[in-house]
Structure formats: structure tokens, C-alpha cells
Structure 1
Amino acid sequence: MTTSLSDAAAPPSQVRALDVRLLPAALLTWASVLLAAYAGYRAVLIGALILSVAALGLAVMQPRVSFTIHRSVARVLVAVLLFGAAVCAAAGARAYSAEMSPLRSLAVEASQAQLEVIVRSDPRLVSPGPDGRPRFLIRASARAYQSATQPDQWAQTRGVLTVFASGHAWQELRPGETVVLRGQVSEPSRRDFTVATLFARGDPQVIAESSALQRSASDVRASFIGVVSSTLGEEQAQLLPGLVIGDRSAMSQRLRDVFIATSLTHLTVVSGTHVTIVCGAVLLTARYATGSRRLSAVVTGVALLWFVIVCRPEPSVLRAAAMGSVTLLALISGRRRQALPALHAAVIVLLLVRPQLATDLGFALSVTATAGIVVLTPPLTDLLVRRRVPKLLASVLAVSVTAHFVTAPLIAGFAGQFSVVGVLANLLAAPVVTVSIVGGYAGLLLAPIWTGGAAAVLTVTGIPVTWLLAVARYCAGLPHALITVPAGLAGAGAMVVVIVAGVLSIRFRRSRGVVLAAAAGFVALFVPVKLLSVAGLYGPGFPPRDWIVAACDVGQGDGFALSLSPGTTVIVDAGPDPEAIDRCLRRLRVREIDLVILTHMHADHVTGLPGVLRGRQVGAVAVGVGRDPSTGFDVVQDAVASAGVALVELNEGQELQLGDAVLRVLGPPTDRARFLAPNDQSLVVSITSRTHPWPGFTALFTGDAEEESQQWLLAEYEPSDLRADVFTVPHHGAGTTIPRFISTVGPSVSLIGVGADNSYGHPHADVLATLQTVDSIIGRADDHGLVAVLARDGELVVVGERASVPVS
């Protein structure tokens, strides 16, 4: 989402005469592609017809309307309408191709198939499977398929696929390779012209290598990453590939969280800064060597193509490269560079060639930041200079402030977050960013041919990289570095209003009274709405409707909800307060429950049961063999009797079918459960889904199981039986959880039911440290309130109600 300072370095005269002639075309293109993605080909083709009729009508009636509309304006309107019709037709054709693909028919039936595909992306490591093997997400283009019903017949097809696959063999795939793979074809989870999602089984069979250029680029990447890993420290080696080529695969979850909190993630995305450095160096060298402007531009274009292949065609890379290409064409033609038309042209071309970008948040952030910098940075710089700020500092400050705030509504709308320290972090990072990137590119060029030289250059480059890490850690550690804001359209709109109000109050003194009055009115409206939200009667934007696992804020106790598919909901424990758990379930829109599991009989797990049963259709309430303390079991019996709900017992080794999911009871051991301490009597259950959000997704619920139970589980079961994507930390994070148990489970997300300022010291610092060592995202009810776990592109995303849980 960054661009180079050169993009913003236009003199004030140019700012006053912005060239926005291509803006309507860019907006029409984006709107048409979005309509095709979300409404389907029929809607967008109807739009094309309407625009064509409107253009024809305006053209026919032009002589009559020339008295009220200037003839040149009418011609422009006709041209815009015809262009809109054309892009609608193009987007409709792409949508039709995706919707009518034979793979979509197989996906609807969740059929097995064998496919021949071309790999389009590097394998991206996502949440591991239940067997502990690494799991990868790969983008691919289908070429042919063979269905299970016609195993001897290959049929040609086209379309973009998302592939999920487990096993080390998938990590070796490279973009451009043609492979044959097998698996279950399912419907795509996102509306971005993806034809289907394939859950692959077995290993891929490579039948054709990638091109020589792609192999060369992969070798360069591998050499560079190898030298970085052997030369720099752990965190430096994780960060530098992201700074140079946008490869964030080595970054730990903790490091990603720090960069998210400080709004520095744009540094690990290839942007206009990178293209400016590469193209500038090549252009100057070629111009010096050849003396020809056009030949230099051609050489630079080839270098830019190689650069894109090395960095991979990610949305930000394509945006930056497209702008660079437009600039090179302007150079060849002898015309002066114009950043804004170049951006608009880049958007149009990229959306027509890669319509998936229309729904990509990274692409939207990149375009928004670039447009904001081009338009707003020069006047803001002039304003700061007039206030006696040194020009260089004014330029850096203007870029940081503009990029941060113009993208804030998008980030708020999609993630419900706002980085308070973002501007400060970017200001502190700015002096070393270019140095780090230049040093990284020097190492990238040297790594394949001279390892020693590359190591020497990268050792020096490690110094500014260390500064970046220190800045990120310091700023992320400041109080309220990352705050939660309303998500969705409401959050984005609110952020726009706040930013506009702030700008008006700074720029115009007379508007400050109006802004203060509006702020007072907002507070007067917001406080009642917030109270209703806390009461569970109204929830603007939170929790999201597509939650998978939720941890309710029930005070010092446990209350978890699991929703693996429509109509399949499981509640695990009810907390100490019926009102708190009832309010949480209303906010989660839970009206029907297949099964309520009470792990053991302590009051902080069972007393809230009447709130769970209140006004809901419940299949059954399940308890374990243990009944201690008896007062807790009495509460359970009274609640189920009053609600007329069945009470069942779960035993070790038992399996239940819950829709598309399987529930396995792992503990406690039936033969001695009654002789264990109440906490170790806790039911430990593993619930695995066959389909949603992906085959093999597993949640492990542990109640208050302490060291004795955990040791028994480790001795009784294979590690693959205990692995889970989502893990409820035993006994509210008490120090009785052993590190080996956590490392064996290896959770991507860990949820802790714990009350704020509790007298037990929960959660224990050692347990939190162990969870961090396995790169688990930690959601805590005391810090975050209600916590919701979602699935996005094969990864788990965690959002919290009060304070933001960093997004993975």
C-alpha cells in the first residue's frame, strides 16, 4: 500500500490541475467487475444492455439536448457509457465462464476428480492439518479434468482454482509448473471468479516444468533466502525477504502481529518504492551504456518483467509494475509522466486482465494509498513547510499521514482495527526503509553468483533492518497501540466522518464549533447504542455472522460456541452467570443448539446453563462420568428438567456424528474418572469437520484438565489425535498446563476463558509464553471480550470485541 516519494513529488501547480479524465473509466471498470463477482453474469450483462441503450439514446438525442448540455460534454458522456457497457460485457463474460464451468458442477456435488493444472503461486503455509503435516494454499489454473464418473476421459476446461493440500511434497511446487492432482472439488469460499476449491489428496505429479525465466527467478529467490537465513539473526532473516521481494512466509505470528499493530505491514509488500529503485537503477545504467532513451526504456521494461516474476504477481506487485509500465510507455513516446492517469490506466488494465483483484483488500489498499499520496501529499507538504517544518521532514510526514489515514476506512471496514501509533512508527522507520531495500536488492543480485559478497552486503543491511524491528516492537508496546473500531460499512463510514471532521477542524477555525457539536451528538447517540450492544440487543458489525468458534465473555469461567455449518452448533460449558452466556449467544444469533457439553461440575462451567437453555431449541445436554461437586450436578439436573431437555453421558472413546463433523471423547479415562480431582474429571473432546471451513478442521476443548489428565492424554494418544486448529486452554490458563501438551496440540488459535483482574492470577505468564513459542494467536475474554474465530483463504482470523486480537 506504499508508493515511492517520487509519486508524490509533483509541484503545487500540478496538484491544482489534476488529470482525472480516466477516473470515471477506472471507477466504472471496478464497479462492473464487482457487480459481476457478487451478482453474477446475468446482472452485469443487464447493466451492459442498460448502458448501451443509454449511450444510444443520448447519441440520437444529442442535437436536441445540445441547447442544455454542451455538445462536447454529451460526446464524453456517450463515450463513458459505451466504455461502461464494454467493461460490463467483458466482466460478464468472465463471470459466465466461471459460473458455467464444468468444475462448478462437480463442486456443487462435492465430487472427486483428477485435474491437470498450472501452478500460479508459491505454496503458502496455512493452518496445519489434524495429522500435523504442513498444509498449503496454492492458486492454480485448470487445464483439464477427469471426473470419478468418467475415469477414462479427460475433458478440457479453464478457470482459476484454490488448492488446499497437506504434505512436504507440495512445498516444492513452483509457479509455472504443470501438475496432475487428485481430490475433492468444492464450491469456492470467495466470490472472486474462482471456479472451485480443491482439497487435494496425496502428492502432486509434476508433468511439465516452468519456463526458463520462471526457474531462474525461483533459483534467485531460493539463493537469496538461503544467504539471508545463514547470515542474519532470526527476526532479521524473517523480515528482510518481505522487505525485498514481498515474501512473508518466514515471518512468525508474533512478528506479523507487531507489524499489524504499528501499521508497518506495507513495508513487507512490494510497492512503488521497490519499482522506483529497480527501474531507476536499470534505466540510469542502460542510458549511460546505450545513450538511447527508447532502448533504455525497453531494457528497463525487461528488467521490470523479471522483477515481477521474482516477486510473484501479487496484487501490489501488479499495481506497482503496471504504473511503471505506463511510465515507460510515456518515456518511449516522449510524453511527460503523470502519476494519476498512470494509476487509473493501471487499475483499468489490471482489473480487465485479473478481475480477481477487484475483491482483493491488498489491491484496494495499494490503489487507495497511491491515489491519496499523489493527490494530497503535495498540498500537505506545502502546508507543513509554511508552518516552518523542514521540507524533507514535511515530505516524509505528509506521505506517512496521508497513506495512513486514506486507508484507515478500508482497514476499519474489513478488519475493525485502527493503529494509533501508525504514523509515529512510519516516521521512525522512514529513514532506513530505502537503505534496507537497496541493500536487500544488492544481496538478491549477488546471491546466485557470489555467496560471500551477498553475505557481506546483507550483514551491513541487517543494521537498518534491526532498527525497523526495534521501531516496530517499541511502538507496538505502547498503550492502546491498536484499537478496535466498528467493522463493516458502518465502521468504514464512521472512520471517513472522523477523518473529514479532523481535517476540517484543523484547516478551518470556523468549523471547529460544528465539529465539536457533531462529536457531542455522536457521543450522545453512541453511548445508548453501545449499552444495547453490551446487552446483546444490538450489535453493529460485531460479531461477524460467519464465526466458527467463539469465546464468550462470561467473567471468570468458560463458555465456548462452535458453529461448523448452518444448523450445527455446539456449546461447551456455560460459565457462572446465566445472563452473561444468554446475552453472548443472542449476539452470536444462536437459536438452535445440537449439543451442550459441560466438561465438569464446577460452578464457573455449569451455573450459566439455564441461560443457554432459555428460549432455544436444544438437542441434549452432555456430561462426563465425573459428578463432583454434587452441587454442580444438582444445578444441571434442575436446569434440564425445567427445560425438558435430555441429559446424556459421554465416555472415553465415544464418537458422535454432528452434521458434517465428528465428535470424539478423548478423556477422562472412564474406569477411574470418579476417583480423580474435579478438574481432572473434565471431558476432553475433539471435534473435526469434514467440510467447513476445510476438511480436517479440528477444535479441542479441554475444560479444566490439569497436569495429571494432560500426562494421561499424551501417553494414551498419538500426537495426531491431539492436534487442533483451535484450542481452549485448560483451566483458564493456569500454570498447571504443561508445555509439552501445548506443543503437541500445536494450535493456530488458543482461547482462554478468564475474568478481568481475577484473584487466581489467570492466565499464567509461562503458559502465555509457551503459546507464543508455537505461534498461536491468543484470544482472552478478559482483554478482548467476546472473541470470534473466522476462516479466510485457508487461514484462521481472530477478532475481539474490546481490544483487537491481531489478524493472522
Structure 2
Amino acid sequence: MTTSLSDAPPQPRHGRALDVRLLPAALLTWGSVLLAAYTGYRPVLTGALILSVVALTLAAMQIRAGNTVNRSVVRVLVAAMLFGAAACAAAGARAYSAEVNPLRSLAGEASTAQLEVVVRSDPRLVTPGPDGRPRFLIRASASAYQSTAKYDQWAQARGELTVFASGPAWHKLRPGETVVLRGQLSEPSRRDFTVATIFARGDPKVIAGSSLLQRSASDVRASFVGVVSSVLGEEQAQLLPGLVIGDRSAMSQQMRDDFIATSLTHLTVVSGTHVTIVCGAVLLVARYATGSRRLSAMVTGVALLWFVIVCRPEPSVLRAAAMGSVTLLALISGRRRQALPALHAAVIVLLLVRPQLATDLGFALSVTATAGIVVLTPPFTDVLVRRGVPKLLASVLAVSVTAHFVTAPLIAGFAGQFSVVGVLANLLAAPVVTVSIIGGYAGLLLAPLWTSGAEAVLTVTGLPVTWLLAVARYCAGLPHALITVPAGLSGAAAMMVVIVAGVLSARFHRSRGVVLAAAAGFVALYVPVKLLTSAGLYGPGFPPNDWVVAACDVGQGDGFALSLGSGATIIVDSGPDSEAIDRCLRRLRVREIDLVILTHMHADHVTGLIGVLRGRQVGAVAVGVARDPSTGFDVVRDAVASAGVALVELNEGLELPLGDAVLRVLGPPAARAQYLAPNDQSLVVSITSRTHPWPGFTTLFTGDAEEESQQWLLAEYEPSELRADVFTVPHHGAGTTIPRFITTVGPSVSLIGVGADNSYGHPHADVVATLQAAGSIIGRADDHGLVAVVAREGELIVVGERASVPVS
């Protein structure tokens, strides 16, 4: 017997009504939290008051009116406004609590304090500190503090903190432990209701352990990682903990880059995919074993709770649990109308409980991908099946394509990137993802109970993990696997237009002419904008506003900029072309310069000086004691005289305070500088910040210093005095750089000022290989154009204008 659509029982109308009402409620909640995060509590509480007054006024007016039709409309409006007022009030209260917190005041003064905090996350390895020791990011909640003025008195202060700390003792901390730490407070770098960032000094003192449940979760994780390391190869052992519990600490930089380029990063963090696979497998097994829908649902709920506890109840895991549960609901019920209200309700609850999620890209990606899968995957699958694609392949293809393209505008807006091979990589990975994750969780469950059984399961799981590694490596190596697109709102809007146009042209034949005409018009507009962008007259999303260090594309030469925060800027070298350096500084929005440092007098470092001085307020121009060649010094002298800027001299051993930073001149030795070759006369300058972007952040500028100068530096200074977070590679990456000098500096980021297709063979392959072996991210002007280094959450992120530079 067949049943037509007309014979099917009608769907209840309340499902659609609930869906319509919860969507604006979710958007109101998200919008109010974002407004509170970015503008503070006053505008949000004002909005709550206005919405309440308007709602009450409408209600009072409706009571007097007798129109039944208008009454239902007014009721909806009043309910929406009252909900919006409640959401604004809740967000405003959270923002007020963060703004009036005494730790926020201490952070504004960069004060040192002792705090009692509860650890909320596992320590995450980030960019090493200037001393080269491991550096960790930890989420914590403050409970009390002692200021430097009153060390004998503890005061209550509750709020979320971000802790940066160096040393192996911090790696041993576990969520739930209460510790006492001491450090310098700084204002939070992200607007997510965190009250302060603290840069800890010394080791933590644990005064209370975590709960039995949290200790058990830590033991399970440790047992799992131990078994994985013992039975799998190095790369597989790096990847599998990321696939199972979101632990990416062991993943190499190259592996991370490959997964970013192929849009497979979602597999290495705890996501809704993990929840869907794990809970779906448990549900099927429980249903087969018990035959009871209610009992199998209870077992699945227990499995979900175990999943959250072991993977840590952090915001990302809670988000994944909520989004994965919604997706699972859609898959097992086949009713999208039930899944969408559940998604909207989950968004509302999560934002009210964890308002910092509103500013989290991962949360936005999860919500968008989940909504796309729930709404678009079923009809897309049906279209593919009608065209002859097998149903299983159609489902996998529909999920991969939908998730990739509905999140593309967000990724373009935030990161300025689009993975061309993302769909291909996810399709190739799809057949083994479920096996890898289920096998990994089976090993996680067995590891603390039966080591031999866990070893057997994880050994087999290593095979699909090897396939995932091969897919990521192969797809990332394809030409133009990851392309750079405009960042910001313009990039997100452009990506959305492209996707919608592609869908319309694929779905409707008549729209293809319109799409082609629109594409031609876009090109006609884009080309002039691109030319203006290249000229530095317009920058839609690059460079980022919060850059810390930048390497200008000045051709074969050096031109670097260092931001010290609060508008303070230092320029090191000016390149050979005044127009190129001027254009770069305009793009960086540099209008005032505290100090210009010219490392030595070669033309490719000083000839562009007039472009640096043009139209800018400059404190002084600094040179070294040696002045070879004299023609270069003549250029400098004439430029500063024309601009009316002071010319000063920097000598070895000088320590110069510059705002919130200290400049140290390491070389060359003043007594014999004039007898050195011009390249070895280069000033070697180390600049260390007290607060921006974190205390101890160091940049080392080396000019064209060659072997003799580097040998002297290695002999004269302790390794800790040469270490740096960001390093300008000497002499444009020439082969005269000593490998031991690179390893001693130990930079997280290395910047090379070098021209494309230069006749010198710069940078030298051995130097590049040494930098890569040291784990340094390399930004090259010839490949990437203008390169900007951004510090976010204790990590250095590197972006280039012409091509994607690896992200730390």
C-alpha cells in the first residue's frame, strides 16, 4: 500500500509556531549579549528599559482596544519585547559585573597581585615565552585576591580570568583544582566578559584538589594518551587525541597547517560531529540490546554526560554537546521542525549560561553548520538521489557540501580564507571518520580498565587515522588549496553573494545569465578596489587592526614596524623605495612614529626614509656608530634635515625606555664597529614589552648582521638575552646566518624582507630549513607581500596579503 503526501497525517501547527517564535528569541539573545560585550552594560540596560516601557505601553493600549485581530499581533510583539528586555537585562548584568570587578581596575593599572583561583581548563601550550620555557594558557575563575598595597588582606573578587604562565609546574594543573598564584594583571584582549588577563610569575601553589569526578576524568585521559603513544606511530599518536578528546597539544605545526588548509580542523576539536557519532552509536547498540526506546535514550544520555565530563565541561564542549544533540535529534526523528526549535532553545540557554560564547567563532560556526545540516541536507540529498547518486554517498556529499559552504562566509569574514579543497578533503575523509572516532572512544573507555584491550582497539584505529593524515597532506599540497579572500564584513558578504549566485545558477537555468552579468559587474568593481588596496588607499580587512609586528613589502630590502600599544610605533629600516614604505605604513595606519631605527647605511635599508617621514610625526631617527657606506649616511642626513627630525646615535649596551617597552642595543661592539664590514656594522636591537601583547614579549631586529657579528653575539650574551618571540632574519635570509644563532634565538615567528625573483638567491634554502626545524613560522615578503603578526590569546597568528601564511 502506498501513501501519497495528501494522505499523510497533518503536522501539528504548534511546531511551526514554536520555530517562528524561538528564532527571533535566539537572535535577540545573541544580539543583546554581543552588544553588552562590545559596548558595556549601560546601552544594554537602557535598551532593556526602553523595551519594557514600550511593551507595557502596548499592553495597556491593547486592553482598552477591542480589536481581536490586532490583539493577537500585539501579544506576539509584547512577548518578543519582554523577552528582549529580559535578555538585555541578563547580558547587562553580566557586563556590569565584569566592569566593576576590582580585578578589572587592577588590570587597568597593570598591577601585580596574588590571587586564589579555580582552574577551569587543562593547560594549553601556546607560544613559548622569551626564556624559551613552555608557556601555557589556562582558563580560571577568581575567588579572592591580595593587591601589592595590602598583602596581609584578602578581598573577595569573582570573575573569569585568562592565565598565561611558563614552566612545567603549570602543565600538571587539572580542572577543579584551587591554586594560589602571583602575577601581573592586564586588561583582557577579548571582549568576552573576562575580567582580566594575568601573566603569572613563579609556580602555582595548589591548596585544594579537584573533585573525584574530575580526577577520574583526568586519569582516563592520561591513560588513553599513554596507550596511544605506546602503540601508534608518531604522527598517528599526535592526531588521535585531537580526534577523540580535542587534545591538540602534541600536533606538529605542519599537521595543524594541513588540517586548516583542508577544512578538516573540525575533526581535531570536540565538535557536534563527535557527539552525533558517539551518541548515535550508543543509541543503536542500546536499542538493539534492550529493545526499549526509553531505556536506550537513558543510556545515550548517560553516555553524553560521560562524554562531557571526560572531554571537560568547557564552553566548547558544552557547545558541541548541544549542537550534536540537536543534529542527532534531527537524524533519528526525521523531523526538521523539531530540530530547529531545539537548536534555537540550545542557543538561548548556552548564551545565558555562557555569554562569552557570543563572541566565539567556534560557536557561530557550530550553530551555522548545525542549522545548515538540519535544514538543507535532506532536500539536497533528495536532489542528488533523484539524479542517480546512491543514497549513502548522497547523504555524505550533502552534509560535506552544506557544512562547508554555509560556514564559508563566517570563515572568510574572520580569517580571510577559503579552502578550495575542503569539500574534496571531507569527502575523502568521511568513510573513515566515524570508524576513527568510535575506535578512539572505545580505546578511551578501555584504557583505564583493560590496557591490552585498549591497545588492540587503538592499533586497529591507527589505520583510518593514517588515511586521515594522508588525505590532509595530499589535499593541502594541491595548488591553491587555501586561497586568501577579503576579510571583514565585505569578505563575508562577498562570499555569501557568490554562494547564493552559485546555488541560483545551478537550480534555475534562467538565472544563469543574470549571475554571469552580476559576476562581470563584480569584476568591474573589484579590479579598481584591488588596485586601490594595493596602493594602500583602501583596505577592506587587511591588515588587521591589532597587528603587533609587520614586515612591509618593499622589494629587496628591509622595512619593519613594531606596535607597542596605545599608538606607540617603532620603524626599523625603510627599504630602498620611499613610495613602497610610505604605502605600507598608510595601510598599517601609522601616523605617529616614536623612533625610526636604521640598522646600517646600505641603500636597501635607508633609501626609503623620506617615505617614512612624509606626513608623519616622528620623534627621532636613530643610527649606529658606524656610517659605511657614506653615500647611505648622506641620504639619511638630508632626509632628517628636510623633515626637521632629530638624528640620534645608538651604542652597544644602551637600554632605552620607550613607553611600556625597553629597547636594548646588543651590538655591534662600539670599540671596533667602524672596522667591521658594512653588514656586520648592523645594529642588533632587542625590544621587550612590559604589557603589550604580554609581559616579556620580545622582538629581535638584526639588520644584515653576518657570521662575525652573530659569533660575537653568541659569545657575549647568555641565550636568554638573545631569545625572541619575533625575529627578523639577518641579511634577507642569506646563507651567512649561523644555525646555532637561529636555534639560540628560538623565534616563534621569523620575518624575511626579500624581493621576489631577486638575483641573490635569498632566502637560502638551508636557512629556511633551519627555521622550519626550529618550529618557527616564516613570513616572506616575496611570497606573502605585507605580513602582519597578531597576538591573540597568547598565540602569534601570522597573516599575509597575497597568500596564506601558516597560523600558529
Match of 2:603? 603
In structure 2, C-alpha distance between the alignment counterparts of 1:761 and 1:179, rounded to whole Å: 53
In structure 1, C-alpha distance between the alignment counterparts of 2:768 and 2:468, rounded to whole Å: 25
| CA-to-aligned-CA distance 1:309-362 (integer Å, 9 cap, x gap) | 2112344421232256679999999x9993222211111111111111111111
Mark the CA change 1:285 to 1:474 in structure 2 (over 3 Å): closer, same or farther. Answer: closer
Mark the CA change 1:89 to 1:687 in structure 2 (over 3 Å): closer, same or farther. Answer: same
**2:222 aligns to what SS in structure 1?**
helix
Q: Aligned pair 1:433/2:433, yes or no?
A: yes
Do the aligned residues in 2 keep the contact of 1:327 with 1:342 (CA within 8 Å)? no
| Structure 2, unaligned runs of 5 or more | 1-7
Match of 1:735? 735
Do the aligned residues in 2 keep the contact of 1:20 with 1:340 (CA within 8 Å)? no
Equivalent residues in 2 for 1:135-150, closer than 5 Å: 135-150=135-150
**2:547 aligns to what SS in structure 1?**
coil
Match of 2:707? 707
Mark the CA change 1:182 to 1:402 in structure 2 (over 3 Å): closer, same or farther. Answer: same
Equivalent residues in 2 for 1:520-535, closer than 5 Å: 520-535=520-535
What is the CA distance between 1:297 and its match in structure 2?
3.4
Match of 2:115? 115
What is the CA distance between 1:299 and its match in structure 2?
3.9
Equivalent residues in 2 for 1:590-739, closer than 5 Å: 590-739=590-739
Equivalent residues in 2 for 1:3-402, closer than 5 Å: 19-62=19-62, 67=67, 69=69, 71-284=71-284, 286=286, 293-323=293-323, 338-402=338-402
Match of 2:540? 540
Mark the CA change 1:128 to 1:146 in structure 2 (over 3 Å): closer, same or farther. Answer: same
The range that moved more, 66-75 or 407-416, is: 66-75
Match of 2:802? 802
**2:596 aligns to what SS in structure 1?**
strand
The range that moved more, 449-458 or 286-295, is: 286-295
Do the aligned residues in 2 keep the contact of 1:301 with 1:325 (CA within 8 Å)? no
| CA-to-aligned-CA distance 1:141-188 (integer Å, 9 cap, x gap) | 111112222222222221111111111111111000011111122221
The range that moved more, 114-123 or 303-312, is: 303-312
In structure 2, C-alpha distance between the alignment counterparts of 1:84 and 1:256, rounded to whole Å: 41
Mark the CA change 1:347 to 1:641 in structure 2 (over 3 Å): closer, same or farther. Answer: same
**1:278 aligns to what SS in structure 2?**
helix
**2:146 aligns to what SS in structure 1?**
strand
Q: How many residues align?
A: 796
Do the aligned residues in 2 keep the contact of 1:294 with 1:331 (CA within 8 Å)? no
The range that moved more, 680-689 or 645-654, is: 645-654
In structure 1, C-alpha distance between the alignment counterparts of 2:769 and 2:431, rounded to whole Å: 33
In structure 1, C-alpha distance between the alignment counterparts of 2:687 and 2:251, rounded to whole Å: 29
What is the CA distance between 1:109 and its match in structure 2?
2.0
In structure 1, C-alpha distance between the alignment counterparts of 2:64 and 2:487, rounded to whole Å: 48
| CA-to-aligned-CA distance 1:432-487 (integer Å, 9 cap, x gap) | 11111111112111221233332222222111111111111111111111111111
Do the aligned residues in 2 keep the contact of 1:62 with 1:74 (CA within 8 Å)? yes
Do the aligned residues in 1 keep the contact of 2:656 with 2:664 (CA within 8 Å)? yes
TM-score (norm 2): 0.94
In structure 1, C-alpha distance between the alignment counterparts of 2:648 and 2:630, rounded to whole Å: 17
Do the aligned residues in 1 keep the contact of 2:329 with 2:339 (CA within 8 Å)? no
In structure 1, C-alpha distance between the alignment counterparts of 2:715 and 2:229, rounded to whole Å: 36
User: Which amino acid in 1 is paired with 2:653?
Assistant: G
User: Which amino acid in 2 is paired with 1:305?
Assistant: L
In structure 1, C-alpha distance between the alignment counterparts of 2:502 and 2:281, rounded to whole Å: 40
Match of 1:787? 787
Match of 1:423? 423
Do the aligned residues in 2 keep the contact of 1:131 with 1:720 (CA within 8 Å)? yes
In structure 2, C-alpha distance between the alignment counterparts of 1:15 and 1:369, rounded to whole Å: 27
Mark the CA change 1:653 to 1:404 in structure 2 (over 3 Å): closer, same or farther. Answer: same
| CA-to-aligned-CA distance 1:481-520 (integer Å, 9 cap, x gap) | 1111111111111111111111111111111111111111
Do the aligned residues in 1 keep the contact of 2:276 with 2:327 (CA within 8 Å)? no
Mark the CA change 1:326 to 1:540 in structure 2 (over 3 Å): closer, same or farther. Answer: closer
Mark the CA change 1:324 to 1:120 in structure 2 (over 3 Å): closer, same or farther. Answer: same
Equivalent residues in 2 for 1:551-570, closer than 5 Å: 551-570=551-570
In structure 1, C-alpha distance between the alignment counterparts of 2:140 and 2:34, rounded to whole Å: 22
In structure 2, C-alpha distance between the alignment counterparts of 1:108 and 1:686, rounded to whole Å: 26
User: Which amino acid in 2 is paired with 1:52?
Assistant: S
What is the CA distance between 1:21 and its match in structure 2?
3.9
- Please give the root-mean-square deviation of Cα atoms over the aligned residues, in Å: 2.4
Match of 1:752? 752
**2:195 aligns to what SS in structure 1?**
strand
In structure 1, C-alpha distance between the alignment counterparts of 2:95 and 2:741, rounded to whole Å: 48
**1:589 aligns to what SS in structure 2?**
coil
Mark the CA change 1:99 to 1:721 in structure 2 (over 3 Å): closer, same or farther. Answer: same
Mark the CA change 1:306 to 1:552 in structure 2 (over 3 Å): closer, same or farther. Answer: same
User: Which amino acid in 2 is paired with 1:802?
Assistant: R
Task: Give the % identical residues.
Answer: 88
Do the aligned residues in 1 keep the contact of 2:600 with 2:678 (CA within 8 Å)? yes
In structure 2, C-alpha distance between the alignment counterparts of 1:636 and 1:186, rounded to whole Å: 39
Mark the CA change 1:722 to 1:44 in structure 2 (over 3 Å): closer, same or farther. Answer: same
**2:788 aligns to what SS in structure 1?**
strand
In structure 2, C-alpha distance between the alignment counterparts of 1:325 and 1:528, rounded to whole Å: 47
Do the aligned residues in 2 keep the contact of 1:681 with 1:705 (CA within 8 Å)? yes
Match of 1:4? none
User: Which amino acid in 2 is paired with 1:269?
Assistant: V
**2:520 aligns to what SS in structure 1?**
helix
**1:145 aligns to what SS in structure 2?**
strand
What is the CA distance between 1:286 and its match in structure 2?
4.9
Mark the CA change 1:589 to 1:779 in structure 2 (over 3 Å): closer, same or farther. Answer: same
In structure 2, C-alpha distance between the alignment counterparts of 1:382 and 1:36, rounded to whole Å: 43
What is the CA distance between 1:71 and its match in structure 2?
3.9
The range that moved more, 580-589 or 685-694, is: 580-589
User: Which amino acid in 2 is paired with 1:25?
Assistant: A
**1:713 aligns to what SS in structure 2?**
helix
In structure 2, C-alpha distance between the alignment counterparts of 1:779 and 1:336, rounded to whole Å: 46
Match of 2:4? none
What is the CA distance between 1:110 and its match in structure 2?
2.0
In structure 1, C-alpha distance between the alignment counterparts of 2:273 and 2:294, rounded to whole Å: 23
Match of 2:583? 583
Do the aligned residues in 1 keep the contact of 2:272 with 2:322 (CA within 8 Å)? no
The range that moved more, 583-592 or 443-452, is: 443-452
In structure 1, C-alpha distance between the alignment counterparts of 2:332 and 2:277, rounded to whole Å: 19
**1:548 aligns to what SS in structure 2?**
strand
In structure 2, C-alpha distance between the alignment counterparts of 1:519 and 1:327, rounded to whole Å: 35
Do the aligned residues in 1 keep the contact of 2:276 with 2:328 (CA within 8 Å)? no
Do the aligned residues in 2 keep the contact of 1:301 with 1:328 (CA within 8 Å)? no
Do the aligned residues in 2 keep the contact of 1:254 with 1:772 (CA within 8 Å)? no
User: Which amino acid in 2 is paired with 1:450?
Assistant: W
**1:759 aligns to what SS in structure 2?**
coil
| Structure 1, unaligned runs of 5 or more | 1-10
What is the CA distance between 1:34 and its match in structure 2?
0.9
Match of 2:3? none
Match of 1:3? none
Mark the CA change 1:784 to 1:332 in structure 2 (over 3 Å): closer, same or farther. Answer: closer
In structure 2, C-alpha distance between the alignment counterparts of 1:195 and 1:360, rounded to whole Å: 16
**2:141 aligns to what SS in structure 1?**
strand
Match of 2:5? none
Match of 2:765? 765
Do the aligned residues in 2 keep the contact of 1:682 with 1:704 (CA within 8 Å)? yes
Do the aligned residues in 1 keep the contact of 2:327 with 2:374 (CA within 8 Å)? no
Do the aligned residues in 1 keep the contact of 2:601 with 2:628 (CA within 8 Å)? yes
Mark the CA change 1:679 to 1:71 in structure 2 (over 3 Å): closer, same or farther. Answer: same
User: Which amino acid in 2 is paired with 1:360?
Assistant: D
| CA-to-aligned-CA distance 1:630-682 (integer Å, 9 cap, x gap) | 22222222222222222222222111111111111111222222222222221
In structure 2, C-alpha distance between the alignment counterparts of 1:275 and 1:330, rounded to whole Å: 13
In structure 2, C-alpha distance between the alignment counterparts of 1:127 and 1:79, rounded to whole Å: 49
What is the CA distance between 1:548 and its match in structure 2?
0.9
